[in-house]
Amino acid sequence: MDDLFGFLILGSMIALIVGLVKPGVFSRFIKNPTRKKVGLILGGLLFVSFIGLGMTADTKTATSTTETTQTQPTSSLTSKDEKLNYEILSNEENKVVENIAVLVEKTETQGEAIAMEVKKTCKKPCNIDIWNSREVYASYKQYQNLSGDSKTPLTQIEQHKEQNYVKWGDSLIGSIDFETNSYNDNPLQDWYYKELKDK
């Protein structure tokens, strides 16, 4: 629908420019066309088209970026005679990418194999995070929600991050980034993790 309004905007802009330069071109459609009449009619059409585009674009954006969080029972997939046990914690889609969080047992050593197995289910380029604690993942999601809320004070966001970063680093055992398309072990065990761990 927004394509239709896009074409209407483009067409009415061109028609408005032509009508203001040579109003006589629209004598078939408008009795005694003047610049004022052409400007009012085509300007009104342009205005209505902008409103229509805004209404349909907002609806499309809202529905395409809605979070689809699903919790599935533990999956057991056989890959090369090995059982891969995991649970999908969430699958959030937007227009460009899928973000999938996966829960595994604390003793799981097949993080990369699980990530690659989950990647096969992606409909779009995807980011996959492998977590070994549901509670720590919930804390990380809370941080993301705080960060995405412009009303949350920066000090509260930083305090939450500092209090939980070591737990996040210990529990996020691996990830695949859609840009590099490669698996990384313990991606949050960076300099900030080490600095907090040494405190």
Query: For the residues of 63-113, what is the DSSP string, one character each?
Result: HHS-------PPEEEEETTEEEEEEEEEEEE-SS-EEEEEE--TT---HHH
Least Cα distance to 169 among 131, 113, 141 occurs for 131
Cα 37 to Cα 53: distance, rounded to the nearest angstrom? 24
Q: What are phi and psi of 79, to 5 degrees?
A: -135, 115
Q: Residue 124: helix, strand or coil by DSSP?
A: coil
Residue among 87, 175, 80 at smallest CA distance from 133:
87
Adjacent-strand bridge partners of 197? none
Q: Tell me, what DSSP letter sits at residue 191?
A: H
User: pLDDT (tens digit, 9 = 90+) per residue, 136-167?
Assistant: 999 999 998 888 888 888 999 899 999 999 99
Give CA–CA dist 195/24, Å, rounded. 75
Q: What is the pLDDT of residue 103?
A: 93
Contact 164, 143 (CB under 8 A): yes
What tens digit of pLDDT does each residue of 39-77 get? 898 888 888 888 887 777 654 444 444 444 444 444 444
13-33 confidence digits (pLDDT tens):
898 898 889 988 888 888 888
pTM of the entire predicted model: 0.58
Enumerate the H helices of 149-187 as residue ranges: 154-171
